[in-house]
Structure 1
């Protein structure tokens, strides 16, 4: 039994029970002396108990066995996860990666956990302030094992291959051009249907939320009604050979054994859940008079800091849209920024760099490192006839933007062997058009 239901808004209370057990949700109280069907009540808290009501996040899970029933955790050496940002010298250059390679099965089987690789990041999970950007490449499903992140939230962006994600709350099928968020502490497994690849934005110490709309008004960007949460689904399954529960804790992986499936939640209610969103539902706000608006108008989700208007991380997309501005250079402007900008491409051709920037690859423009359209894009856009035109049809690019200065890992700069060492050359053909005699 699988399914999804509308989220109906961030911070709102949701409830679900597996239809095989009607009435599994207790009435009138969260933790009765005896729960219906002999279930255990377990609270999952995503915020401090004393957080204001508007920001308090928690859900109650009614399960066959509580999650505390497992053997001790032991270190697990898999993947290339790290939060050691000093393992290699800093690099302020414009960086671009070719599509990250997916291992070939059956010679090299790799599931979602073993295929996790940290590309860049800043901060650290013990201090509850920071982010990391990971790449996942895999070719096989997780079998009798699950992962939960003790450090923060995962925003997962599939680029190739659909993911069937089983969580304690139910199942979600997430395909390219969709995203999902698995919040801190939620156990999940990933089933794949062939070679799969994608991006992950991890945030420590904050949760993703919708950005404020300000002068835009009540509607626009991502609408709350378009987010989906799972419908309760459980399995009462013993695993005599052992089920592996993997915890990402302080940047490292640990594994514990238990003899039952963790997906034994018969019912749940609360406002702390996994959720998914289809990027085609984003309602673009764009310039209609002149100039090129800042990319913040394309923000889908934000993880805020305590400084007003400054994000720990923003998730921004560049979807198909109309370009209609008058007397304006329409591609992205040349730019230096006090933020760090990691870009990825799900499909298509990004307008500012149609050749070298490929689906499944990425780029990083660090704090105050200049960037912008390549020479071909500049020449073409400078001579283009200024009439209404479609931009980015068949394309979906995105950006992870952060107020933190991101360090690149050794895997990103050396081990992956995907760094494009000729990236800087895309700007070398730019030439001076300056003529002091003419305006």
Structure 2
């Protein structure tokens, strides 16, 4: 039997005026107005707004959904506890130390779905005033069954490391595998299916949306191309069964019961929708002469703050590429930064840390905390021939970079930590010689 997720339909573009209608229900989209007195086929019109109504046109994000039942039909929410999920880092560990975590463990001996497998690592800012971010891991081994999740706090950028996620959203279905990402914007309901052990990383941003970075002198082409971002074509199910709706609101989880599937949107149009992107489509920009470019040239998506040029969070990748810089230390240089850097490894072996940094693991270098290549990396980068070389072949690593100071959750301070990380630099030698 063919998995229905292998027959998905997508459309291309980023931030455009999408318009889709399920081919099984022709003429479901209204013509000429968004909310006619009576919608075709007995559907309900519902608008989902991801920006203020009065936001400038180029920033305004909204979609119209034409659904079998409006989303308001559910019973009251009740709080539930998920012990390792938080958006309150006021009780977290504040430390300037370099941190590295071993690969996030896969659940063993019990069934854990995507929501149950959420684990908060670090974050900064404030979820109530809606300025800041949180970084989570997930690890699960079963699909969500008659359960949907939505985040009232912010956008979710999901980076699968192991296992393919089969995501059903109100806008349609999305398959996302390792070396792909998916963004579920603020407030959109979704359910995650898996076919075995799955884990990955999540960047959550409050009060802003992910956008493509400006290209400046690069010009019109380069980095992530808008046409390579895919959003789903409308798909719906008419299922009258008990359903749980789980809501993350001000950092807490709540659940409501309803007697039908929330995935009953027959048609939709607008520019506020989930989307996926294949990281292997990224067009790398790099030096062809000498010196080391700043990592900002690897930015896929950015969540801007009110300060021009300074992001709440950037999503940056380090894909396979050619290294051709002459008379240059080609690995990342030792540096201190006015940003916080959380780094993860999806596949392969990161060139600047070929030892303890493993797929599924992560590191955090806090604001102004020094970091850089380990001893082996430094020695290799100092002696390798300056011939053109393929860099990061078979590797995909990434960075969540933020202008916010971040605190580490109380459990992530102790659980799964590589306590020997600092030793990576201890045997760096003194090479200075007085001329």
Matched, 1:165 2:167: yes
The alignment's TM-score, normalised by the length of structure 2, stands at 0.98
Equivalences for residues 5-404 of structure 1 within 5 A: 5-10=10-15, 12-104=16-108, 107-239=109-241, 242-404=242-404
Residues in 1 aligned to 2:431 and 2:213: alpha-carbon distance in whole angstroms: 40
- 2:227 aligned counterpart, secondary structure: helix
- 1:352 Cα deviation from its structure 2 partner: 0.4
Tell me how far apart the structure 1 counterparts of residues 90 and 59 of structure 2 sit (CA, whole Å): 34
2:426 aligns with one of 418, 425, 428:
428
2:93/2:413 contact within 8 Å kept = no
* Alignment deviations for residues 36-90 of structure 1 (CA, whole Å, 9 cap, x no partner): 0000000000000000000000000000000000000000112511122122431
Instruction: Give, in whole Å, the separation in 1 of the partners of 2:175 and 2:233.
Output: 12
Of 379-388 and 161-170, more deviation after overlay is shown by 379-388
Say if 1:380 and 1:396 are closer, same or farther in 2 by CA, change over 3 A: same
Q: Which runs of 4+ in 1 moved over 4 A?
A: none
**Bigger CA drift: 119-128 or 86-95?**
86-95
1:328 and 1:5 mapped to 2: Cα distance?
43
Deviation at 1:385, TM superposition (A): 0.7
TM-score (norm 1): 0.97
Give unpaired runs (5+ residues) of structure 2: none
* Aligned counterparts of 1:103 and 1:3: Cα–Cα separation in 2: 29
Aligned 8 A contact 1:292 1:329 in 2:
yes
CA contact (8 A) 1:79 1:113 kept: no
Contact 2:11 2:233 in 1 (8 A): no
Indicate conservation of the 8 Å contact 1:286/1:297, yes or no: yes
Equivalents in 2 of 1:221, 1:115: separation in Å? 32
- Matches of residues 400-411 of structure 1 in structure 2 within 5 Å? 400-411=400-411
CA contact (8 A) 1:117 1:411 kept: no
Question: Residue 280 of structure 2: SS of its match in structure 1?
Answer: helix
Q: SS of 2:20's equivalent?
A: strand
Tell me how far 1:223 sits from its aligned partner. Answer: 0.2
Shift of 1:108: 1.2
State the number of aligned residues: 430
Q: Could you tell me how far apart the structure 1 residues matched to 2:94 and 2:13 are? A: 43
Question: Unaligned stretches of 5+ in structure 1?
Answer: none
**1:3, CA displacement in angstroms?**
2.4
Per-residue CA deviation, residues 159-210 of structure 1 (Å, 9 max, x unaligned), is 0000000000000000000000000000000000100000000000000000
Q: For residues 32 and 392 of structure 1, what CA distance do their matches in structure 2 show?
A: 54
Question: Contact 1:284–1:298 (CA<8 Å) still a contact in 2?
Answer: yes
